[in-house]
Structures are given as structure tokens and as C-alpha cells.
Amino acid sequence: MESKKTRNTEKQNLVRNILSKTEHTMSAEDIIHAMPIKVNKTTIYRILDRFAEKGEVHFITGKNGKAYYALCDNCGVSHKIHNHIHFECQECKEVTCQPNTLHIPNLEGFTIQETQFLVIGICNKCKK
Ligand SMILES: [Zn+2]
Ligand SMILES: [Zn+2]
Ligand SMILES: [Zn+2]
């Protein structure tokens, strides 16, 4: 019999694999739909939270309030400070990580623990 641990590792690997193949970010629902096996939302969120803690993934909150996840690309220790821009397309609703970065200002007396940059518009695929 397969142990619970093996199944969890398998699910984690599947999530990692799905995120590594996508060109855009994915919501928990998108990931569930892309999974070859049946997984519930709680499990997916648990996996994503864990990945986020370890610095494997980061997320951006879209216009609809949903979290969109993407694999992290050499984030380093201060993993929660992501200075790259995310673009949300009003047409296809895709949220993508953009290579463009923003300078994070030093806010006198404030401690920045997390940053999210979202830009909304029409993507190059939807622009006619
Ligand atoms: Zn990160
Ligand atoms: Zn689009
Ligand atoms: Zn990103």
C-alpha cells in the first residue's frame, strides 16, 4: 500500500510540474483542473502555502481578489519581496510575470514584509 507521505510527495511534484510548464500564473482552481488526479482545494492550498514558505512559489492577488501562483526564479532569502511586475489582461484574464522590475522604496519607519505589483490592461495576444 502506498503511504500517505508518498501520495503527498506525488501531489507536490505534480503541482510543481504544472507550474513549471505554464507561461502564465495559475489560480488554485486552474491547478486543480490541470491535475491528472483528483485533488481537493484544501490540499492544493496547503501545497501552495508550503511552496510559498520555502520560496518555491510566489503569488499575486488579481483584480478579482484571487491569488495567482507562479514558480519563483532565484528569489533568494527575502523571497516575499518580489520586485517584478505582474500583468493582468482584461480580455483573456491571464496574469503573467513580467521581467520588468520596480525599485522598492525605503519607507521611513516602516518595515516592508511583502510586495505585490499588478498592472492591468490588454496583453499582446489580445491586442488586435
Ligand atoms: Zn519568490
Ligand atoms: Zn489577453
Ligand atoms: Zn511573478
118-121 vs 84-89, strand pairing mode: parallel
Distance of CA 6 from the midpoint of ligand 2 (Å): 38
> Phi first, then psi: what are they for 95, rounded to 5°?
-110, 120
Q: pLDDT per residue over 19-71, tens digit each?
A: 999 999 999 999 999 999 999 999 999 999 999 888 899 999 999 999 999 99
Chain mean position to CA 47: 12
Annotated binding site: 89, 92, 123, 126
Distance of CA 92 from the midpoint of ligand 2 (Å): 4
Residues in the 5 Å CB sphere of ion ligand 2: 89, 91-92, 123, 126
Q: What is the pLDDT of residue 81?
A: 76
Q: pLDDT per residue over 70-115, tens digit each?
A: 998 766 556 667 889 999 999 999 999 998 989 989 999 999 888 8
| Ordered alpha helix ranges (H), the chain | 4-21, 28-34, 41-54
Query: What whole-number distance in Å separates Cα of residue 93 and Cα of residue 55?
Result: 25
- The answer to whether the CB of 51 falls within 8 A of the CB of 15 is yes
Distance of CA 75 from the midpoint of ligand 2 (Å): 27
Ligand (nearest to CA of 26)? 3
Strand ranges across the sheet with 95-101: 95-101, 84-89, 118-121
Q: Does domain 4-121 have CATH number 3.60.110.10?
A: no
Q: What is the pLDDT of residue 54?
A: 86
Question: Is the pLDDT confidence value at 124 over 70?
Answer: yes
**Cell numbers of 82, please?**
518580489
> Phi first, then psi: what are they for 64, rounded to 5°?
-85, 5
Q: Which amino acid is at 80?
A: K
Q: What is the pLDDT of residue 113?
A: 84
Residues in the 5 Å CB sphere of ion ligand 1: 58, 72, 75, 79
Distance of CA 113 from the midpoint of ligand 1 (Å): 13
